[in-house]
Structure 1
Amino acid sequence: MKRYQSNPRRTAGQPAAMRAAVSFTLSALAAWSYTPAHAQASANAAADGALAPVVVSASRFPNDPAFPPVAATVITAEQIREAGIDNANEAIRKLGGVYGRQSSAGPNDFPLDLRGFGSNGDQNMVVLVDGVRISENELTTPLLSSIPIETIERIEIVRGGSSVLYGSGATGGTIQIITKRPQANAGHGSVVAEVGTDGQRAGRAFVARGWDNMSIDASYAKAHNDGWRDNTKSNQENFSTTVQWFASDWRFGLRANIARADYGLAGGLSLAQFNANPRQAKTPFDYGSYDNDSITAFLERRFGAFDVAAELSHREKIARANYASTATTLQTNVRNTQFSPRIRHVLEAGPIKNELIAGIDLAEWNLNTVASYGNSDAAQRSKAFYLRDEIEFDKNARIAAGVRREIFTQSSVSGVYGMNSGVNAWDLQASYALVPSLRAFAKTGQSYRLATADENGFNGLPTGQILKPQVSHDLEIGATWGSVDRQLTAKWFRHRVRDEIYYDPTGGAFGFGANSNLDPTKHQGVELEGKLRVTEAVTVSATYQHVEAKFTEGVNAGKELALVPRNMLSTRVNWKSGSQSADAGLRWVDSQRYGSDFSNTCAARIPSYTTLDARYAIRVNAWEFALTGTNLAGRDYYSQAFSCQGSIYPENGRAVKFTARYDF
């Protein structure tokens, strides 16, 4: 139907920009067709089943082997492929054990939640791509599905307060997407086609070519899905290209990303409607779309014991929504520029090794909203300086300390509100190897979050006032044990939060709800993560999280926060033998409070649920054929509901897809 088509205003120049970018990239790659041979795909490199070493970069630099972050979760490109996953958001949920709930707008980008922050989980973690922040300064989910899956080298998940290095919103942790680095004098690529239930059709292509000191890669993806629910049809199109120049001690590059999507908005159901038919649409004629374009320049340079790095990124996003159900329209225009230079010095003195990092984060963000019910605008400027030092003693003990100071200005261009202020973060970490296979660690610190423009624009406060920064005092202790074939990590954590920024359904001048600074809250729990290689062919893994998120003061003292399941368990089994592989995952999520139930008076809870997904694949020379299924039990369930037994957004039912892939 016509309402699913792209907005006509896109044809004025934005698709032309995509065509020009594609044309430029294909022209640059044309020379590859004249080379005498092509490198084989790297997927066979680990055919013997050994786990390859993975270098993580939680220090905002490619990590020195002496300073790997303790207890980070790393998802590799091989794991993503073997699970049959085609977008980063799904990989983070299924392989990283991160909780996600059904999106109420847009395809594939589920809101994510580290450590029980409910409907504002996305705003309490930071998502980055190669060091560039893509977490939105508005109440929307980062567009992880727009990142070409073929370009991802690994995904790093670091749970817990990380504001010293990453600033606002990093209380729950950080998710870093690391893309593949160039290979000199090598070329490779792949073509993927998928077809599945609910009208799913998708195609992807990736190609990369490296020369002595230059490389270029390009990725294109297009997907269509009729949707499991009525009025959830979606179309998505992404293009990405990177050009890099490099030598042994430096790297410089330019990256461009273009993403387009349009989708239906089915709306939330009542419990009676869900029980009668979870596939129906409450709003059969509502729809939305977005255009998201970004360009990034990045530089890395080594000078002896010093490393210097920087990224300069500019992003523009246009999001549109047409709500026929309420006769309203909305368009938001976002412009964001970031510049993040930093320097690292590594010093060795006998058995002692020291890593010192200093950096600056500069950001400028503008939002313009045009709506049928009124227009608005907002701006934020911020500048931050951070310093972090880590010392390793004889490879057994490590201690690290860091501080950050951020100065920010939040304002409405029309003068409705404005504020200049500052906020601090700090942390202190230590770890000790009791024996070579067992390391204990502890961390304490302060993290923070600034209110988004959406939150300040609807806060229920007197004119001219905005929400206070959210500040969390964080504590974490734990231990890691194991080797390449068996690993176990256990953590206990606590976040004591003051002025937590959240939508209070009872707030506002007239009690109809508003974004508010809540009374003090506490998020406390346990995390377990394990992996075991049973045989050369079979590996099993599991993640478990227990969270108690409650008010500690005020009228709701002792009451649970909404939309936070107390327990979550994920298990996976992977089998790989010769040309065949199989992967299966089981996920259980506990019951949780409905979104508006701050007083815990709703007699019902969102029910617990269990899902099963699986994949089987076989390789035939350069071809791979796979069959993948999700929610194989066909369970009707939901994880997103904003009122007591109402405003329910059902999760997708059973889906099966067939994939054919050719590597060259």
Structure 2
Amino acid sequence: MKHFALSWRVVAGPAIVASATLYVQSATAQTSTQSATGSNLEPVVVIASRFPNDPAFSPIGATVISADDIRNAGIDNVNEAIRKLGGVYGRQSLAGPGDHALDMRGFGSNGDQNMVILIDGVRLSENELSTALLSSVPIDSVERIEIIRGGSSVLYGDGATGGTIQIITKRPTTDAIHGTVIGEVGSYGLRSGRASVAKGWDGFALNAAYSKQRADNYRDNNNSDQENFSGTAQWFSNQGRFGLRIDLARANYGLPGSLSMAQFLANPRQTVNPKDYGSYDSDRITAFFERKLGTFDLAAELSHREKISRSSYGGAAVTEVHSRTTQFSPRVRHVAEGRLLKNEVVTGIDYSEWQIGNINGSSDASQAARAAYVRDELQIAGNTRIALGVRREVFDKKSVTGGYDKGQGVNAWDAQLSHAVAPSMRIFGKTGQSYRLPTADENGFTALATGQILKPQTSHDLEFGATLGEANNNATLKWFRHRLKDELFFDPTVGAFGANVNLDPTKRQGVELEASARLNQDFSLKANFQHVVATFTGGPNAGKEMVLVPKNTASARLNWNYGNQTVNVGVLWADSQRYGSDFSNTCNARMPSYTTFDARYAVRVSAWEFALTGSNLTGKDYFSQAFGCASGIYPDSGRAVKFTARYDF
């Protein structure tokens, strides 16, 4: 394991940060305010716009995961929290520990490329066709996680068709020091230690979180060694704040590879790739600023990330890839209020640069992006809200080996309406256009002529829904449809080895249901359900199902609190789905459906907490990722238990 080291260069690379306000938040979210905010700083609720939240424009229908939810479920990484508590479907990672590929609204193997993930307003989603490193975010630094489903490119730009996930970190309390120390041991050689501390003074605060984990994991050659650090220094007053944040991550891991169906049935823990391994070093520094000037709010983030990824397959020489990203996102908000009307305007620009290349200089590619957006939301008599937004983004893409130097421009827009038909019921609708740009990796492996690149993917989005209830008992139901043109996807039927292509027209259509209930003083229940039909709507595959999309997924979690004891039980079910190569729908087999259970018991003794957590309690042999017809299988983990000791001070 390498020691942490920062290495900054002048050049950097693209990841687009967008910002503005969202329109959806549940009643539960409205009660989940930043409890750890200093008394000299106004409570700041960072929801999508990265501005202090105005209650009049609180989003409707978001999924909110609190720090208490995470703790009660015994979850030790952000990716797992999003899947188990947020109801977002995830499939087994192909590379790296702990980071399942997330998928909202049925985008299959490219699900994680059709959503945007941010931490305190800074984009984590990668431009390297890889999953965002959520396992690098120290879980004890998280105040809450907010999940917004549906197209949001006006707000977030590239890749926000399926939805957005915002991770909000904790802020220290003024004139106090708080901290946590955690140790864990468990199945498959798990050993983990975590610590966090926060100290506040009058107008200044420091907080830091560190974690280190080693595990052999379920499969052979699947061992992992991770180390993460996050630290923030900030100055604040009633008028705003500014500060610096550093995030460092190191990981080494084995790559067990895929199995045939016969191998999976014989022994799902085996590997046929005992020499394959990978690692990454990721360093990020972020400067942030917020300031209130009368009826105007100003904010900005400037973030730079450097990442080194290494891999070796079959004992071959190590491949080392370097990537650099810089993001800058200044913006302004103005709120005007009359007797019956209240209006919020948010406008800003997003700028990003990105570069990637092997250590020997091959496969070099770069991208620069510039965007401008504006969004206006009007509230009428406290009951009706109307929002309109537009965005224009221009990209410059270059590659030495790909032989291209091209520009691409895309537009996004949306129109939203919501109305409170009763004090406890609101209906809403949304229509618009979202988009995704091909990554350098996608443009690097196509069937196109040299110098040509893939077209941008666009989606026409439509959504209707209703939310009903209050903070402790509520439900949100949505119907959605995404009509996609030039969808970016890897097509294994092109050429001898497959290629990245723009697909014929496709569609995602379905319903989502989220509900929570306080059954009595001690018991509470949360549940999520999604039904999605993903099909081709044009070309030779018209009417056929898209691959790696379960039609139905569902999860539920029951929580019991009694005195100093907590029990948390969860269930997850995923329907059957097409194998990753089955574009023609001719494979006679489908990936089987599966159901898993997990549970946790914890008891608090003064400042200590002791917990026992079990996952996949029935020992189900299953897989969520497979690319051949009954082959190319990446097994998921079997039964595991862990013991946790926690001390708060």
Instruction: Output the TM-score relative to the length of structure 2.
Output: 0.93
Say whether the 8 Å CA contact 2:217–2:223 is kept in structure 1: yes
Larger helix proportion of the pair: 1
Q: CA RMSD in A?
A: 1.4
- 1:334 maps to 323
Say whether the 8 Å CA contact 1:190–1:661 is kept in structure 2: yes
Say whether 1:369 aligns with 2:369: no
Q: Aligned AA for 1:375?
A: S
CA distance in 1, matches of 2:143, 2:325: 26
CA distance in 1, matches of 2:493, 2:317: 25
Does 1 or 2 have the higher relative contact order (CA < 8 Å, sep 6+)?
A: 2
- 1:630 maps to 615
User: Deviations 1:574-610 (Å, cap 9, x if unpaired)?
Assistant: 0111111110101110000000110001000100000
User: Deviations 1:85-123 (Å, cap 9, x if unpaired)?
Assistant: 111100000000000011111110000001000000010
Say whether 1:443 aligns with 2:430: yes
Say whether the 8 Å CA contact 1:58–1:158 is kept in structure 2: no
Query: 1:186, CA displacement in angstroms?
Result: 1.6
Query: 1:641, CA displacement in angstroms?
Result: 0.4
Say whether the 8 Å CA contact 2:4–2:248 is kept in structure 1: no
Say whether 1:223 aligns with 2:213: yes
Say whether 1:267 aligns with 2:257: yes
Q: Aligned AA for 2:338?
A: A
Query: 1:17, CA displacement in angstroms?
Result: 5.1
1:617 to 590, 593, 602: 602
- 1:521 maps to 506
Say whether 1:657 aligns with 2:642: yes
Say whether 1:101 aligns with 2:86: no
1:481 to 464, 468, 472: 468
- 1:561 maps to 546
Q: Aligned AA for 1:455?
A: E
User: Deviations 1:455-513 (Å, cap 9, x if unpaired)?
Assistant: 00001100000000000000000000001221000000000000000000112xx3431
CA distance in 1, matches of 2:180, 2:33: 24
Say whether the 8 Å CA contact 1:379–1:410 is kept in structure 2: yes
Query: 1:61, CA displacement in angstroms?
Result: 2.1
Say whether 1:495 aligns with 2:482: yes
Q: Aligned AA for 2:615?
A: T
Say whether 1:423 aligns with 2:410: yes
CA distance in 1, matches of 2:250, 2:5: 13
CA distance in 2, matches of 1:414, 1:585: 49
1:313 to 303, 310, 318: 303
Say whether the 8 Å CA contact 1:230–1:281 is kept in structure 2: yes
Unaligned runs of 5+ in 2: 8-29, 35-44
Query: 1:545, CA displacement in angstroms?
Result: 0.1
2:133 to 143, 148, 160: 143
User: Deviations 1:315-348 (Å, cap 9, x if unpaired)?
Assistant: 00000001016x3542210000000000000110
- 2:176 maps to 186
Q: Aligned AA for 2:583?
A: F
Q: Aligned AA for 1:171?
A: T
- 2:380 maps to 393
Map of 1:291-310 to 2, 5 A cutoff? 291-310=281-300
CA distance in 2, matches of 1:601, 1:260: 43
User: Deviations 1:189-247 (Å, cap 9, x if unpaired)?
Assistant: 00000000100000000011000000001111000001110000100001111000000
Map of 1:14-53 to 2, 5 A cutoff? 15=4, 52=32
CA distance in 2, matches of 1:605, 1:229: 23
SS at match of 1:15: coil
Say whether the 8 Å CA contact 1:100–1:111 is kept in structure 2: yes
CA distance in 2, matches of 1:105, 1:562: 20
Say whether 1:646 aligns with 2:631: yes
CA distance in 1, matches of 2:618, 2:116: 33
User: Deviations 1:47-74 (Å, cap 9, x if unpaired)?
Assistant: xxx9655756133423211111121111
CA distance in 1, matches of 2:552, 2:402: 45
Say whether the 8 Å CA contact 1:269–1:649 is kept in structure 2: yes
Instruction: Output the TM-score relative to the length of structure 1.
Output: 0.91
CA distance in 2, matches of 1:392, 1:83: 38
- 1:46 maps to none
CA distance in 1, matches of 2:299, 2:170: 17
SS at match of 1:643: coil
Say whether 1:152 aligns with 2:147: no
CA distance in 2, matches of 1:552, 1:332: 38
Q: Aligned AA for 2:461?
A: D
Query: 1:166, CA displacement in angstroms?
Result: 0.3
Say whether the 8 Å CA contact 2:32–2:66 is kept in structure 1: no
Say whether the 8 Å CA contact 2:544–2:584 is kept in structure 1: yes
- 1:350 maps to 339
Say whether the 8 Å CA contact 2:488–2:502 is kept in structure 1: yes
Shift in alpha-carbon separation, 1:655–1:63, aligned structure 2, 3 A: same
Query: 1:528, CA displacement in angstroms?
Result: 0.2
- 1:43 maps to none
Say whether 1:76 aligns with 2:76: no
CA distance in 2, matches of 1:287, 1:422: 38
Percent identity, aligned pairs only, is 64
CA distance in 1, matches of 2:496, 2:190: 44
CA distance in 2, matches of 1:242, 1:56: 16
Aligned residues: 617
SS at match of 1:269: coil
Say whether the 8 Å CA contact 1:478–1:489 is kept in structure 2: yes
CA distance in 1, matches of 2:465, 2:453: 38
Q: Aligned AA for 1:193?
A: G
CA distance in 2, matches of 1:450, 1:127: 16
Say whether the 8 Å CA contact 1:291–1:317 is kept in structure 2: yes
- 1:25 maps to none
CA distance in 2, matches of 1:550, 1:329: 40
Say whether the 8 Å CA contact 1:56–1:68 is kept in structure 2: no
CA distance in 1, matches of 2:568, 2:170: 24
Say whether 1:408 aligns with 2:398: no
Q: Aligned AA for 2:307?
A: K
Say whether the 8 Å CA contact 1:396–1:432 is kept in structure 2: yes
1:471 to 449, 458, 462: 458
- 2:12 maps to none
CA distance in 2, matches of 1:103, 1:52: 31
Say whether the 8 Å CA contact 1:288–1:320 is kept in structure 2: yes
